[in-house]
Structure 1
Amino acid sequence: MLSGVEAALAEASSPSWTQRVRAGRVLASFADVPEAAEALLGLLLDVEDTAVTRQTAEALARVGMVTAVRLIALAVAEADDNQADWLQTGVHDALVGVGGGPDVAAACGELVRDPEEAVRRGAAEIWVWTGDTRH
């Protein structure tokens, strides 16, 4: 792996919320790498700071790849109400930000047929957040 990814993996378990946020932003582009995916799921469900949850969800939604959105869907399925609110806020931030997150709805369209029930459930919820009414 690249040294930047290795550094981000180390930051993902840092006691510093700012380092965990940075890790989420860096690792989002590597959502298809198993080690990064595991770290990202932990960041999405961060119990220490909601900023980590929100900004990691935003970074993954901006990436928009199916593998990135799948991680958000898994987190949504596992999240408590507070975490789910911050996941939704992060996705919303990506959708309304520069360039938006047009691939999020398309990824959800694929993920609602995922073999894993938790992914299907989370993707259906995210799809509602996107405002896409095709499902």
Structure 2
Amino acid sequence: MEPAGSANPTIKVMVVDDSRTIRRTAETLLEREGFTVVTADDGFEALSKLVDSEPDIVFLDIMMPRLDGYQTCSVIKSNRRFRSTPVIMLSSKDGIFDKARGKLAGSEQFITKPFTREDLLEAIHLHVHTTR
């Protein structure tokens, strides 16, 4: 694993959460580490930004209005172009049902909120291959 400060600025991270506070926190933490960050406040906005931004990894809140995280993840994973993009579910609920449902939707990992800087960095290092 690379030291935290040596993050590759070409790695693009998408953070999708209906909470402005959560989006800003994740964006600040990740930008400090040198990542390019794209944010969206719901599943519809995430899907529209996905094509233009082509993120290397997506952090996706489960509980959102209009299109929830499970539905958004399913749409991402059903698209041939984005099928291999890692999706990490974020939720304040950490029950086995929530985790199982996230897996069924296609997510690679489940992080319980409140998350830490280390939670985000570990997920990126685990799922994003820095040699493109």
Structure with the bigger percentage of helix: 1
Shorter-chain-normalised TM-score: which range? 0.3 to 0.5
Structure with the bigger percentage of strand: 2
Question: What's the TM-score, normalizing by structure 2?
Answer: 0.35
